[in-house]
A = this chain, B = another copy of it.
Amino acid sequence: MIVVMRHDAKKEHIDKVIERLKDKGFKVHLSQGVARTIIGAIGDKTRLENGALEAMPGVEKVVPILQPFKLAGREFKPEDTVIQIGDIKIGGEEIQVIAGPCAVENRDQLLETAYKVKECGATLLRGGAFKPRTSPYSFQGLGEEGLKLLAEAREKTGLAIVTEVMDPETIPLVAEYADVLQVGARNMQNFFLLKALGKIRKPVLLKRGPSATVQEWILAAEYIMSEGNYDVILCERGIRTFETATRNTLDLSSVPLVKQMSHLPVVVDPSHGTGKRQLVAPMARAAVAAGADGLLVEVHPNPSEALSDGPQSLTPEDFGQMMEQLTGVARVLGRRIAGDRS
């Protein structure tokens, strides 16, 4: 850590900072420039309160040197994490496609979609039973009934199940049915939820918050991991920017960036990331080309009847076409789409 003193800091200010650092067990080095005094400090940063030094008189800024996460970091664990879900591996050579409706609406809708996405090469089925909605007057999901339908779809198709959990209290219920528990973007910093998910033994798919930096996103994964659950899949789903022509701005550069900073697998959700059906296939191809380990795609047998996210849902036909293109892109990178039978 580097402490930069103000140009007008007095000797006593500098001495107090050094004293504080030494008290906390830091090794300190003083560097006196023409315009600034700089204090280098080597030690265990968690022994120091956040912001404590910045708040001391005479301090201009504190520059951290190391990333604030550990378990999730590439330095801590250089090799890629591969997460096993039954036969499925996320984070290895194979690219997994998670597809299905935004919300589970009824048995027919879900089973029809499940059979079709399976046929086209998906290996996991998505579908919300508990739905976070901006308006209290929108459809909020089927709850447990939705979970049961998902379990039935798994039984019939062999697809693994990914579904969202919104609240610590419902984790046991959701975990009973799901293979992967999803944390929605708006809950990325719901720390009670993250900690509780750290205590179960099922993989967690953690969506990036709409205003979260990549560093904060990895720190949210660290919350889960610090409680003992190391199976975290990161999911890029777009960030909020000034652009209104798309629902979010899908930040694909986060894919290679996360791969450098962390060993965790990264999947991409081009459906929420764009909010527009016509942009889903090009951005799915781009995500695979950028190095994503998987995709999360909304598919609905009849998007204009969907109870949510119709405009960004693919029809099964669109989905099938998209999968064919992905096969080719994956091959260029020496990978393959897991469920691809071609």
Interface residues, chain A, with chain B CB atoms under 8 Å away: 2, 4, 7, 29, 31, 33-36, 38, 40, 42, 46, 49-57, 63, 65-66, 68-69, 75, 132-139, 166-169, 186-187, 189-192, 195, 209-211, 213-216, 219, 222-223, 226-227, 239-246, 249-257, 260, 273-274, 276-279, 282-283, 285-291, 303-313, 325, 328-329, 331-333
Contact partner of A253 (CB less than 8 A), chosen from B279, B304, B305, B310, is B279
Contact partner of A31 (CB less than 8 A), chosen from B42, B169, B306, is B42
A288 to B, closest residue via Cβ: B289
* Nearest chain B CB to A3 CB, angstrom units: 11
Q: When the two chains form their complex, are residues B166 and A167 in contact, meaning their CB atoms are under 8 A apart?
A: no
- A251 partner residues in chain B, CB cutoff 8 A: 241, 243, 249-250
Known: A168-B169, A241-B249. A190 touches B191 (CB 8 A): no
Q: When the two chains form their complex, are residues A214 and B245 in contact, meaning their CB atoms are under 8 A apart?
A: yes
Q: When the two chains form their complex, are residues B222 and A310 in contact, meaning their CB atoms are under 8 A apart?
A: no
* Nearest chain B CB to A269 CB, angstrom units: 13
CA distance A210 to B241 in the complex (A): 11
Give the top 8 A-B pairs by smallest Cβ distance, nearest first.
Answer: A55-B310, A211-B211, A328-B332, A289-B289, A286-B286, A54-B311, A285-B289, A186-B189
- A276 partner residues in chain B, CB cutoff 8 A: 257
* Nearest chain B CB to A211 CB, angstrom units: 3
* Nearest chain B CB to A283 CB, angstrom units: 6
Known: A2-B2, A239-B241. A166 touches B191 (CB 8 A): yes
Interchain Cβ contacts under 8 Å between A and B, 26 examples: A50-B138, A50-B310, A55-B277, A55-B303, A68-B135, A133-B191, A135-B222, A136-B191, A136-B219, A166-B192, A168-B169, A211-B211, A211-B242, A239-B241, A242-B242, A243-B251, A246-B257, A250-B253, A252-B283, A253-B282, A255-B282, A256-B278, A282-B289, A282-B291, A286-B286, A328-B331
